[in-house]
Structure 1
Amino acid sequence: MSVLAYTLVAIALLIIASLAFYAGKLLFQLKRQKDVQQKARQERVVRIMESVHTIAWAVEQQQCNLSEGAIRLVNLLDSVPVASPPNCQRDYPNLYNLFLAVRELPTHQQRKALPPQVRAQQDQKREEQEAKLESGILKEMVMIRSLSFS
């Protein structure tokens, strides 16, 4: 082989080694990025579940209105970033049915803007649903407080 051939082979090997090093560096950065994302996801799960357990406890202790608890819990449980989040409709049917009954009711400023008769009708509807579902919801709160994604 000539000097030119050896030179070309050496250059080719140098290019291949450089590309392999660069690919390895990119793979290492990708792994590190995935680890950071996984840690952030796990921390989010922990924060959400702390909120879920606190709200469930407050509902169980009657420190939180059943309707407010239903709205907050269903939305939080639906947002847990895990492979298979709880199915509220299947796992907590009483809570989910109350959520369906009250999720469209206006709150805050929209509620204050309603005529008193309309507010009273909505309150009556909400209270009837709460009374009907209360015992089942309280049982589901015990299940929710034991829920974990470790």
Structure 2
Amino acid sequence: MALKRMDNVGIVVEDLGVTIDFFRELGLELEGRATIEGEWAGRVTGLGNQHVEIAMMRTPDGHSRIELSRFLTPPIVEDHRNSPVNALGYLRVMFTVDDIGETLERLRARGAELVGEVVDYQDAYRLCYIRGPGGLLIGLAQELT
């Protein structure tokens, strides 16, 4: 059996509303919100009885999704938001945008902070990392050709 697709990337957040607004400003669309709770969900995650608010965000092309989760029960146990770029594990999500400068300007109004610098990689891409709501690490890429 072959892999069909990647369905979504999950990100645990503290403030679901602020994070939804941030990703909307970036250009993602809110596909839906739900509350997931109960023993059945805990059997999937291994967390037991859980209560989670989720929001599914979709890229404009409809091919990629981010699932934002705010855990009410059980409480969050670890915090990797301030980990450096060379930390082990899932680290960041990268988005291609039309104009990094314009995107940074809009996202700074929502609290985004540039991590390093905006740099050009050869003549192919303009790249940067930003910290979004709650310290989420997000990559931005602008195709130059």
Please give the range of the TM-score, normalised by the shorter of the 2 chains.
under 0.3
Task: Give 1 or 2 for the bigger CA radius of gyration.
Answer: 1
- The higher relative CO (CA closer than 8 Å, separation ≥ 6) is in 1
Structure with the bigger percentage of strand: 2
TM-score by length of 2: 0.21
